[in-house]
Structure 1
Amino acid sequence: MTAAPGDKPFSFLPDDPARAALALVLGFTLLRVAFAALLGFGVDESYTLGQARRLALSYFDHPPLHLWLAHASMAVFGTTWAVRLPFILLFAGTSWLLFALTRRLFGGWEGVWAVLALNASLFFLASPGTWIVPDGPLLFFLTAGMAALARLFFPWEGETPSAWIAWTLAGFCFGFAGLSKYSAVFVVAGLAIFLFATPHRRWLAHPAPYAGALVAVLAISPVIVWNIANDWVSLRFQAGRGGGRGLTLSAFAQMLAGQFVWLAPWIAVPLATIAAQNLARLKDERRLFLMALAAPTILYFTLQSLWSGWALPHWPMPGWFFAFPLLGAWMVANPAASPSPHAWARWSTALAVVLALGIGTLGATGLLTRLGVPSRADPTLDAFDWTALRPILAARGVARGSGPVVVGLTWNEGGKIDLAVGDAADVMVIGPDPRGFAFRQVRRAYQGADVLIVALAGTWARQQAALQGQFAVIGEPERLSIGRGGRPEIDLVIVPARGLKSLAPVSLAAR
């Protein structure tokens, strides 16, 4: 059957929606590969790769799945850009699952539009789509689980899906989503809302959902066991990030603006508008299903900024993810809208390509600083890898199995240092916020050790006085600058110190 002119986002796509969706997924996957090859590792990625060097049941900041995946990827690719490839391929799978889910709910071309909009969004193009972050596995398994249940809730004519298979597969997927990120619980809570609000509540009288819940608990058990052994420190850390600081309208405004920017304004406006319009169409169970999955995550993390005083705009994104099928359905139903959906598709895709390749090129070359932009104002500087440290520290005796321990002063600087030299030497962190480093540091093993402190010059200036009691002797700092293309962009210090007394503040020293 030939597609109508208004159905396809681009005339060159195949007439079959599945093939068209595959073509879009392939095209955006190639774009992500180019983006990944150009851009260095960000602060969070560097820290994650450092933590992933050592396998554990779970970790301080997040559940373990993306770290396990990073560990396996490093075994194949080392710490080159290619370590991102499994995450890129995982999001290609997520895009296909979104197509399959949208096709079941609304139709094939609706699924194609949803895939296009998702992949053209800045956040989904870059963060879960390319980077080594927990959101990639989270979205893959949430989408797979919801697609399995959608087949049960909304079967096509002639289908007789098995409740046992659907709920067991969903439980497995939700368990692995929980192994990816704690916020999976909000999307699963949305599923519960959908069940209670519709005749699908009848499934609660069937044993299959409870079998699926047991499978989910078994899947997430490594996180439970690790937290029990570590006084629930990971859950307490994440819960504490939403602590109350009083009414803060400025933080709420920043949260709204941040989501607007992260999604990309040309995606955010139609996505939010169409989601709001669907509030009047919740009698349609398909739309209620998606809105129930989306709403808890979006509302909680957005409103949380009102009392917490801060929040990160990527936290609500798993909720927005489930609004994309609604956007796809609207695009097919309104081909004559103004502005034209087809013009929107062309501009959105072009901007995604230009921004991905442009940001990647700026990050690879440091062009902004070459043009006179101060380093502190260069948003790509966080993606600058400190690889120049490796030969510098090697010249000072840092090598596998010998030489001093390398010490950072903050978790984020420690991540950058670890990425550069962590396979050649132990990297530890001293300071009030070591994050995951606190759970891999064997303090007794380094008692009395000689170390090389590596820090940004500003960090050293702030913490120098507090470090005096942690060493027998602290030497004179050696100053150096490193940057892209041989240009100095960041100022570091290397400080020799002898007689390590403590790697952590008193509150952690007993570990």
Structure 2
Amino acid sequence: MRHQSPSSWAAICICIAALVHFALGFSVEFSVDEAHYALYAKHLAWSYFDHPPLVGWIQWPLVSLTSSEGIIRLIPELLWALSAFLVYQVTIEIHRLMQGRNAGYLTTALPSANLCGFMAVLAIIAAPLPHVLAIGLLPDTLLTPLSLGLMLMALRWTRKDQFSLADWVITGLLLGLAGLSKYTAAFTAFALLLVFLASPKKAWITKAGFWMAVAIALIVISPVLYWNWINDWISFKYQIAHGSGATWAWRRVAAFIGIQLACFGPLLVLGAFSFFKSCLRAQKLILIALLSFFIIPFIIFAALSGGGSLPHWTSPAWFCLAPFAGIGLAKAWAMQHRSAIRVLVIGQLLVCLLGFGFVLVGGINSTAIKSNPIADLYGWKLAGQKAAQLSEATKASGIAVQNWTLGSRAAWYAKPLPVYVLDQRQDQFDLWFGPLAAGASVLLINWSGMAFNPPIGGNLAFERCEPLDSLEIIRFGQVLSKFDYSLCHNWQDAGAAR
């Protein structure tokens, strides 16, 4: 490392990680969420049942040109690289703010800005979960660089006497695009508002530029508002129910904290602790307001986790914490606490490499197929092609599955065949393909990783189902999963539950 500057090493590390993402992107099939959002691009709309539309819109050019997973995954790979670059830039700006002549934020001197930026980037690269978002495009992949962009604008606000008209326009666009990415962008907007409130000497609410930024943000998110208005606000109703989850329990909160530590690694936590200990005084409202880009979403998701949550929801928040963690790690490095940092970096990178290898080999061989989570990433392309062939041969009205997570891959890999989800839950498939017509005959796909008994007899069921064929998915000599195909006749009471 002595032969390269910290900024050069940050760039080298980002490039190495990006190459790994690129290779993995061509090696595995779409996950359930990736396929679902790629279908957004196939069915362009102002918005969608479960998320705002930007995750579909941004993929539309590539999805229109190709079905290659690797090519389509160039989008999340570039967004991850942009996020890592922005982490470095935000770290430099925070360092500059703290080194200000009259800032008085420090108890002792800081290491160089470039070393702090490199440590921040290294903490992100060593975190396991962000690599998943770098390969598969999720709304959080989009929200991450937009949140960091808003952090940069917040820092610009704290360092300048006033915002120019261009600054307000950029802020409004970033807010609007964040709203088009995910509804939880509201947490980022609240954090930005706290930065404005933490600067009482700077007038902002009376500025025409501020209201212009608000107007621009509202114009950008107007497609989401319009679509929900004409669809009885179904997306907002779904998100409220989805966020509340099941019955609240403290054990889920404890599990959430443990999972977060495992997914993002103790290096970020160590760096944040070092920052709080050595670089932050409680009375410095600006730094605390900037930390709210992490604190607000993390606390809200931790509270919601008592009813159930997903670990990647906090990803933008952790990226926003990384600049502070980078400064803390650089401070600890300068104070000769290097062994602990080396151990954590090497340990977390080994975990990442083991995870990459685990994905490539298809998981661990087991007699219980359901116990292998990696099986979900293989076989759907062959299964979809076979389903399309069987559907054409039997003159079926389409494909049926019994859970929406099975429908996404079936609809992507067997497109343009309609896919019907045979449950009583309203979802995006109802909007795309409508209800299954009464008396229809369809090809039913059953996957061993989420197996169901065929729906036969009674309401919302078929008169009979005839087994047609099966397909085993084998990788490196082990059976990962099995697909069973049946032709089901005469759907009864179609649409009753809807």
TM-score by length of 2: 0.87
Determine helix, strand or coil for the equivalent of 2:486.
strand
* Deviation of 1:362 (Å): 2.9
**Structure 2 counterparts to residues 213-362 of structure 1, below 5 A:** 213-243=214-244, 247-264=248-265, 266-271=266-271, 273-274=273-274, 277=277, 281-306=281-306, 309-337=307-335, 339-340=337-338, 344=341, 348=345, 351-352=348-349, 354-362=350-358
- The superposition leaves residues 2-48 of structure 1 with CA deviations (integer Å, 9 ceiling, x where unpaired) of xxxxxxxx334336x3x443333222211221232333322222232
Paired residues in the alignment total 480
1:146 paired residue among 151, 154, 163: 151
Q: Match for 1:133: what amino acid?
A: L
Relative to structure 1, is the Cα distance of residues 204 and 277 closer, same or farther in structure 2, using a 3 angstrom cutoff?
farther
Determine helix, strand or coil for the equivalent of 1:136.
helix
* Deviation of 1:122 (Å): 1.2
Structure 1 stretch displaced more, 489-498 or 111-120: 489-498
- The superposition leaves residues 106-158 of structure 1 with CA deviations (integer Å, 9 ceiling, x where unpaired) of 0333222212211221122222x221111111111222232133223224xxx
Do the aligned residues in 2 keep the contact of 1:477 with 1:495 (CA within 8 Å)? yes
Task: Name 2:109's counterpart in structure 1.
Answer: none
Q: Does 1:453 align with 2:439?
A: no
- CA–CA separation in structure 1 for the residues paired with 2:213 and 2:262: 37
Q: Match for 1:297: what amino acid?
A: P
Do the aligned residues in 2 keep the contact of 1:481 with 1:488 (CA within 8 Å)? no
Relative to structure 1, is the Cα distance of residues 117 and 429 closer, same or farther in structure 2, using a 3 angstrom cutoff?
same
2:116 paired residue among 101, 110, 118: 110
- The superposition leaves residues 364-397 of structure 1 with CA deviations (integer Å, 9 ceiling, x where unpaired) of 332512xx46322223122224122234324424
* Deviation of 1:478 (Å): 3.8
- CA–CA separation in structure 1 for the residues paired with 2:463 and 2:88: 61
Structure 1 stretch displaced more, 35-44 or 182-191: 35-44
Q: Does 1:412 align with 2:405?
A: yes
Q: Match for 1:206: what amino acid?
A: K
Q: Match for 1:149: what amino acid?
A: A
- CA–CA separation in structure 2 for the residues paired with 1:183 and 1:207: 27
* Deviation of 1:487 (Å): 4.4
Task: Name 1:4's counterpart in structure 2.
Answer: none
Relative to structure 1, is the Cα distance of residues 475 and 171 closer, same or farther in structure 2, using a 3 angstrom cutoff?
same
- CA–CA separation in structure 1 for the residues paired with 2:246 and 2:479: 40
Do the aligned residues in 1 keep the contact of 2:245 with 2:308 (CA within 8 Å)? no
- The superposition leaves residues 422-468 of structure 1 with CA deviations (integer Å, 9 ceiling, x where unpaired) of 24x22222212352112112348x55433111123586644624x64
Task: Name 1:381's counterpart in structure 2.
Answer: 375
Determine helix, strand or coil for the equivalent of 1:29.
helix
Q: Match for 1:288: what amino acid?
A: I
Q: Does 1:496 align with 2:472?
A: no
Determine helix, strand or coil for the equivalent of 1:432.
coil
* Deviation of 1:60 (Å): 1.1
Q: Does 1:428 align with 2:433?
A: no
Q: Match for 1:232: what amino acid?
A: W
* Deviation of 1:190 (Å): 1.4
- CA–CA separation in structure 1 for the residues paired with 2:158 and 2:314: 26
* Deviation of 1:326 (Å): 0.9
* Deviation of 1:84 (Å): 0.7
Structure 2 stretches lacking a partner, 5+ long: 96-112
* Deviation of 1:312 (Å): 1.9
Do the aligned residues in 2 keep the contact of 1:66 with 1:180 (CA within 8 Å)? yes
**Structure 2 counterparts to residues 157-236 of structure 1, below 5 A:** 162-199=163-200, 202-236=203-237
- CA–CA separation in structure 1 for the residues paired with 2:34 and 2:153: 31
Task: Name 1:6's counterpart in structure 2.
Answer: none
- The superposition leaves residues 229-276 of structure 1 with CA deviations (integer Å, 9 ceiling, x where unpaired) of 111111111111233765511111111111111112x32431453465
Q: Percent of aligned positions with the same letter in both sequences?
A: 22
Q: Match for 2:364: what amino acid?
A: L
- CA–CA separation in structure 1 for the residues paired with 2:362 and 2:34: 19
Task: Name 2:459's counterpart in structure 1.
Answer: 469
Q: Does 1:62 align with 2:55?
A: no
1:31 paired residue among 20, 35, 56: 20
Do the aligned residues in 1 keep the contact of 2:52 with 2:224 (CA within 8 Å)? yes
- CA–CA separation in structure 2 for the residues paired with 1:322 and 1:278: 19
* Deviation of 1:318 (Å): 2.1
Q: Does 1:120 align with 2:126?
A: yes
Alpha-carbon RMSD across the aligned residues, in angstroms, is: 2.9
Do the aligned residues in 2 keep the contact of 1:448 with 1:498 (CA within 8 Å)? yes
- CA–CA separation in structure 1 for the residues paired with 2:40 and 2:421: 12
Relative to structure 1, is the Cα distance of residues 421 and 360 closer, same or farther in structure 2, using a 3 angstrom cutoff?
farther
* Deviation of 1:214 (Å): 0.7
* Deviation of 1:217 (Å): 0.7
- CA–CA separation in structure 1 for the residues paired with 2:275 and 2:420: 46
- CA–CA separation in structure 1 for the residues paired with 2:62 and 2:346: 29
- CA–CA separation in structure 2 for the residues paired with 1:174 and 1:403: 46
* Deviation of 1:490 (Å): 2.2
- CA–CA separation in structure 2 for the residues paired with 1:56 and 1:152: 35
* Deviation of 1:325 (Å): 1.0
Do the aligned residues in 2 keep the contact of 1:287 with 1:326 (CA within 8 Å)? no
Q: Match for 1:494: what amino acid?
A: Y
2:474 paired residue among 471, 476, 484: 484
Relative to structure 1, is the Cα distance of residues 472 and 255 closer, same or farther in structure 2, using a 3 angstrom cutoff?
closer
1:53 paired residue among 13, 34, 42: 42
Do the aligned residues in 2 keep the contact of 1:407 with 1:429 (CA within 8 Å)? yes
- CA–CA separation in structure 2 for the residues paired with 1:230 and 1:275: 47
Task: Name 1:41's counterpart in structure 2.
Answer: 30
Do the aligned residues in 1 keep the contact of 2:35 with 2:408 (CA within 8 Å)? yes
- CA–CA separation in structure 2 for the residues paired with 1:209 and 1:349: 46
Q: Does 1:364 align with 2:360?
A: yes
TM-score by length of 1: 0.85
Q: Match for 1:137: what amino acid?
A: L
Do the aligned residues in 2 keep the contact of 1:187 with 1:297 (CA within 8 Å)? yes
- CA–CA separation in structure 1 for the residues paired with 2:24 and 2:412: 20
